Amino acid sequence: MAKIIHYRNKCIGCGICFELQPELWRMSMKDGKATLLKSTEKKDIFILPIGDNILQQSREVAKACPVNIIKIQ
């Protein structure tokens, strides 16, 4: 199964991920960074397994992140 990996500490809070995929992302009111919903955290890296139905869309989101901190594995 593919996974979205989010290196959250390097997020600049541009909001593009949330704009493109609001069902998976929220912008934090606390620190202004993006939060990957329902992900699990390990050492500041957030991981969410995803189904094939949203794989292509997630790849586009990863490509659109200006600081390249969303990866699909």
CA angle 50, 18, 12 (to 5 degrees): 110
Distance of closest approach, residue 54 Cβ to ligand SF4, in angstroms: 16
In this complex, which beta carbon is closest to ligand SF4, that of residue 14 or of residue 48? 14
Spatial neighbors of 32 by CB under 8 A, at least 6 apart, are 13
Distance of closest approach, residue 49 Cβ to ligand SF4, in angstroms: 18
Q: Does 24 bind ligand SF4 (CB under 6 A)?
A: no
Write the interaction track for ligand SF4 spanning residues 32-61; mark x where CB under 6 A is met and - where it is not: --x---------------------------
11 contacts 33 by C-beta, under 8 angstroms: yes
Q: Does 70 bind ligand SF4 (CB under 6 A)?
A: yes
What is the distance between the alpha carbons of residues 65 and 62, in angstroms, rounded to a whole number? 6
